[in-house]
Amino acid sequence: MLLRMYARWAEKKGYRVKVVDLLPGEEAGIKNATLLIEGPWAYGLLKGEKGIHRLIRISPFDANARRHTSFVSVTVIPEIEEDIEVEIRPEDLKIETMRASGHGGQHVNKTETAVRITHLPTGIIVTCQNERSQHLNKMTALKILKAKLYQIEKQKLEEKKESLIGEKKEISWGNQIRSYILHPYKVIKDHRTQLEIFKVEEVLDGEIDSFIREYLLWYTKGKTNQKGGS
């Protein structure tokens, strides 16, 4: 139901919607789904949907027509480009030459073929002395330095992803951000903003702009109060 709701909302906005992963439930329904929504401000509008959603209804899968409560965890993250470009500027490098200390004959030990490169912004030091020429040692050292810088940038990217995903709440009572009550009465309530909408069919058909707007106002007000009190 939520998958359809978000897809319908995105379509009405003129966004591109694609289901990139779908895992059916063991008995019925969907266990896990991933939607890719592309369009202006898509993440900014949807980020408030992150959290636990609770559904209360007469289950269509229960032969005795009893009321059931279901929980769904929604995660919203922006698409991050995985391409990492490592730029090494000459002015950021301190290059030193020295005599190689390892085995390699008189030529290696008497000429300054070894190279030590210090990357000034990060303090990373790379030394190479295995090649027979200073040029080759320098090229090898630069390759190693670039690989080290790539690992640093990759780690930053992973940390950024983790911070955007945020803390995942346990899927249980008390942690929900919104309740969709379809029985014995019909109302959808956001527990953060206290907004209630009784036209549940319209909301489930993608009309969630009121919830999005109220959340953004509530979130902005909270941030303003935090700054004022600091």
Query: Would you write out the chain's pLDDT as a tens digit for each of its 230 residues?
Result: 999 999 999 999 999 999 988 888 887 788 899 999 999 999 999 999 999 999 999 887 777 778 889 999 999 988 776 677 888 999 999 999 988 765 544 444 567 789 999 999 999 999 988 888 899 999 989 998 998 998 898 888 888 877 777 666 666 566 899 999 998 999 999 999 999 999 999 999 999 999 999 999 999 888 777 666 54
Which amino acid does the sequence have at 225? N
Dist. CA 208–CA 28, nearest whole Å? 26
Last-in-domain residue among 161, 183, 215: 161
Give the pLDDT score at 159: 84
| Residues 143 and 186 reside in one and the same domain | no
* Together in a domain, 48 and 156: no
Residue 123: CATH number of its domain: 3.30.160.20
Print the domain residue range for 189: 2-75+168-229
Q: Which of 161, 180, 212 is the last residue of a domain?
A: 161
9 and 52 in a common domain: yes
The domain tally of the chain equals 2
Please give the Cα distance from 203 to 211 (Å, whole number): 9
Could you give the C-alpha distances from 230 to 48, 216, 220, 224, 225, in angstroms and in order?
24, 21, 16, 10, 9
In angstroms, the CA 45 to CA 42 distance is 5
Residues with Cβ within 8 Å of residue 184, at least 6 apart in sequence = 67
Q: How many Å apart are CA 87 and CA 100, to the nearest integer?
A: 28
Please give the pLDDT value at position 106.
47
Which pLDDT belongs to residue 82? 66
Query: Domain end: 161, 177, 212, which one?
Result: 161
Residue 168 confidence (pLDDT): 63
CATH code of 179's domain: 3.30.70.1660
Residue 54 lies in a domain: yes
